[in-house]
Chain A
Amino acid sequence: MKTFKIFGIAAVVIGILTALTLESCSTEQITAYKNRSGAQLWGENCVRCHNAPSPASYNDTDWRTIGLHMRIRANLTDDQAKKIFDFIRSAN
């Protein structure tokens, strides 16, 4: 019974996720996603947990370490992590 309950909840959640994902597949949405700059991604993704750090807080070498750490901790995609790092390196 409990297994059915968990699978039932999982099915509902997956259904919602699928519906939202399909909604996001429009050409405009995909273009908006692909065109996101490193600065935008930096501002949007850091604040999911904490304030966006100033690029000047660390040097490039430190950012490489922090960038790898945060890519894994925050589950960023490879593309997002690269764009964010390129922006930080250009802005610090």
Chain B
Amino acid sequence: MPHDHNHSHTEPPSDVVLRVKALESLLLEKDLIDPEALDLIADAFEHKIGPRNGARVVAKAWTDPEYLERLRTDATAAIAELGFSGLQGEHMAVVENTSTVHNMTVCTLCSCYPWPTLGLPPVWYKSAPYRSRVVVDPRSVLAEFDVSVPDDKEIRVWDSSAELRYLVLPERPEGTEGWTEDQLIDLVTRDSMIGTGFPKTPTDIQ
């Protein structure tokens, strides 16, 4: 049985570290990489590009009906309006949770994920257990996230293609009437935009 990536690999095999060094040093000698540029790229994904971007999209959709309509008709353009576009976000679709439908996203074939809006995916999203199971048994997957969706609510699982990335638009939490976009952002979690969680409630953040 394949081992579980969340618990193994606490130490990377030194073989991998050496292979990375070998590749990197050869490319450096051929002047094909710039170490400073590499550092900037990694730094951007560590500190700048993350689920806070997607939360902005969600909070705006919750407060601005015209924006919501644009998101429904052309998600890629509507998300780009807020400055989020580029690699792994070239073609976006927003799937909307309602009182009768809960949406979840996956990439069974690899790990396609909307980088501009959510940043880089968590390890579990890229690993075999989630990718294999969510398409056949989403409720047991949700249980692992301590999330439960009523039996009479339909669960739709969206499998990303090589081009298209999905963003779940969660339902606006109750008790947030009159809240501003900036206040609502703090309620939107990464997992609520993947579909493995719900937004926080006003009580959660008190």
A and B: interacting chains: no
